[in-house]
Amino acid sequence: MRRCIILTLKFPPQQDTAAQRPEAWARYLYDEGIWPIIITKNYGSNIKADVEHEITDRYEVYRLNIHTTLFYQYKGQTEGIGKLKRKLAVFASPWFNTSFLFGPFKKMKAFVDEYLHSKSNVDLIIATGKPFGLFKVAHRLSRKHGMPWMADYRDDWTTTELPTSPLVKYLNKYRDHKLEKKWLNSAAAFTTVSRYYRDKISRVNLNRTPGFVIENGFFEEQFLDTVPLNSILSFVYVGSLYATQDVDSVVLALLEASMHVKNKGPVNVVFIGTKISEERKNEWLKNYPESNVEISILPRMPKSQALQIQRACHYAMIIPHAGLKGIPSSKLYEFIGAKMRTIVFPNDHDVIHETLSGTGLGVFADNLNELRDQFIEIISSYAHKNPIHHIDKSSIASYSRRSTTKKLAEIIKKLTTST
């Protein structure tokens, strides 16, 4: 059986979305003849040892008592001295977070180094980022111990097209790009979540390192039970909103569409964990007093509870970042696992469109007129109880976490020799 070390700062019991990717690998690589060894941070509230070791029948995990990365210590601080500290943290992070003299990865690098000296049967190291300082840990260990390593990008790094501060743009261009190129050059391969990301990252080092796409996927067991649908037509949006996402147009198109359908029933729009003020909500509704649309804004909640609420809705909504490609919404695969028809505006004509088109779950619009017409058709069809659409179950199954982990296992086997 092959043995693979996985370096990650995100792993259960953390409920972070990013923790689900290495969690899936830990669960399912064993079925493909690979023993995962997870090296991660201990997030416990009552830490009694520098290293806590857990062994299951499918993987083992070492939780280390290491610092939080400098960036996350000051993330979200936007006032006064806190804002200044956050900016300094952004500037200093690549040194603090990757130094082996101080910082969070000093202990991680030392621990894995000692582990590899005592265990000669490890075949591969995978580092999954963010934080991308993990790539340096794997890069150094790979050189010292003569074994291959693989970089996994949950997000792209210096090639990001998301809005960033001038300082981050400067650092990406003049400093971090050199680090990324150096570390990526030493990797046997890299993986990421979409073809667009893969192609961008490949250009960092002129396609010298082979890249592969491993989608995030969904855990099948979360969708085995049946959740009754709401008694009224319901649309749901889950998670954060950014300035590049045009939620106003989506809501106003739905309100306008509801005015065009006769004999319609009530319609509910549910936002879960989305920061929307009452003032903004009232601004949406004030020009459509007869729309019969109710807007519910719910706070962040445990994942299991949020899943129950969103699965009771008839339609999900994804609002891609305007003008950006290669970004699969973190909720995309949950909607696929729940077999929910999903409205996408504006159509990204990329990974979201391709994925949902294959499953038969996508409802797409390129402009406001198309979006309004799609909402009119949905509301009218629901009012007249038209037949349910057809979906592609085999395509849906291909996005389970078990299926995407099989793709990873194939790459690992190509890069290693079984011991």
Q: Smallest Cα–Cα separation from 307: which of 267, 338, 268? A: 338
For residues 218-237, average pLDDT: 94
Fold: same for 2-217+400-415 and 220-397: yes
pLDDT in tens, 252-303: 999 999 999 887 789 999 999 999 999 999 999 998 988 899 999 999 999 9
Tell me how far apart the alpha carbons of residues 176 and 129 are, in angstroms, rounded to a whole number.
14
The residue with greater pLDDT, 33 or 176, is 33
Across residues 361-380, what is the average pLDDT?
Answer: 96
Query: Residue 268: its pLDDT value, please?
Result: 97
pLDDT of residue 101: 77
Residue 350: φ, ψ to 5°: -145, -135
Q: What is the pLDDT of residue 88?
A: 80
For residue 134, count other CB atoms closer than 10 A to its CB.
29
pLDDT at 119: 84
Q: How far apart are CA 189 and CA 212, in angstroms?
A: 8
- Residue ranges per domain, the chain? 2-217+400-415, 220-397
Residues 6+ positions from 8 with CB-CB distance below 8 Å: 19, 22, 38, 39, 40, 127, 128, 134
pLDDT of residue 91: 73
Cβ atoms of 374 and 346 within 8 Å: the answer is no
pLDDT at 418 > cutoff 70: no
Which CATH topology does 2-217+400-415 take?
Rossmann fold (3.40.50)
Of the candidates 221, 229, 234, which has an alpha carbon nearest to the alpha carbon of residue 267? Answer: 234
For residues 68 and 257, give the distance between their C-alpha atoms in angstroms, rounded to a whole number.
48
pLDDT higher than threshold 80 for residue 389: no
Report the chain's mean pLDDT, rounded to a whole number: 91
| Pairwise pLDDT comparison (414 vs 291), residue with the higher score | 414
Q: CA 401 to CA 31: how far, in whole Å?
A: 13
* pLDDT exceeds cutoff 70 at 169: yes
Rounded CA-CA distance 97/70 in Å is: 7
pLDDT-based confidence at residue 178 (cuts at 50, 70, 90): very high
Which amino acid belongs to residue 396?
Answer: I
Direct distance between the N- and C-terminal alpha carbons of the chain, in angstroms, rounded to an integer:
6
Distance CA 175, CA 170 (A): 8
Task: Look at residue 385 and tell me whether its pLDDT is greater than 80.
Answer: no
> What percent of the chain clears pLDDT 70, i.e. is strictly above it?
95
**pLDDT computed for residue 419 by the predictor:** 46
What is the pLDDT averaged over residues 211-220?
Answer: 97
Q: Give pLDDT, residue 167.
A: 73
pTM metric for this prediction: 0.91
Decide if domain 220-397 falls under CATH 3.40.50.2000. yes
Residue entry with tokens 């180094």: 113
Q: Is the dihedral of CA 300, 301, 307, 311 positive or negative?
A: negative
pLDDT at 92: 74
